[in-house]
């Protein structure tokens, strides 16, 4: 079993922050998301904070690192399950799965926040097994 990082330790959060932010921005770009949506995915940070993160991640909060972890997990699962073009558009395409009810997975996540990220990640992970 993998050992989870101790996110209550500021030095551990500092160590993970730069790579987490880099991965987050790469995924946001691949998904074609505007800055406003990216800011919402990080818990509603101001646009100015989001722009600053591109050049200097600083130490991210437990909440932000957890959100990014879910997003990276969703991205990874999609690329295991689907061909690349579909994997990169899945979050922004309407979906008839009962969880989404015809909305996009992104809309669902934005409405439900971290629990929504968790549910989407769990749905995709259960499809892999």
Note the pLDDT tens digit of each residue in 6-38: 898 999 999 999 899 999 999 999 999 999 999
The pLDDT value given to residue 53: 83
Tell me the pLDDT band of 129, cut-offs 50, 70 and 90: very low
At 53, list the tokens: 């993160």
Question: Residue ranges per domain, the chain?
Answer: 10-128
Its sign, for the CA torsion 65, 67, 69, 72, is: negative
* Mean residue pLDDT across the chain: 92
Longest dimension (CA), the chain: 43
pTM of the model: 0.92
Eight-class DSSP state of 23: H
Provide mean pLDDT across the span 78-98: 95
Of 77, 116, 86, the closest CA to residue 99 belongs to: 116
Q: Which helix (H) or strand (E) holds 116?
A: helix 105-128
């Amino acid at each position: 079993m993998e050992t989870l990082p101790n996110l209550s330790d500021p030095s551990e959060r500092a160590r993970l922050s730069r790579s987490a932010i880099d991965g987050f921005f790469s995924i946001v770009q691949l998904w074609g998301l505007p800055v406003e949506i990216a800011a919402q995915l990080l818990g509603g940070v101001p646009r100015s904070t989001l722009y600053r993160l591109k050049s200097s991640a600083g130490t991210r909060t437990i909440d932000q690192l957890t959100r990014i972890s879910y997003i990276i997990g969703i991205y990874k699962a999609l690329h295991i399950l689907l061909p690349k073009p579909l994997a990169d558009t899945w979050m922004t395409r309407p979906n008839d799965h009962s969880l989404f009810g015809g909305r996009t997975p992104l809309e669902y996540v934005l409405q439900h926040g971290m629990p929504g990220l968790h549910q989407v990640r769990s749905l995709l992970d259960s499809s892999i097994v």
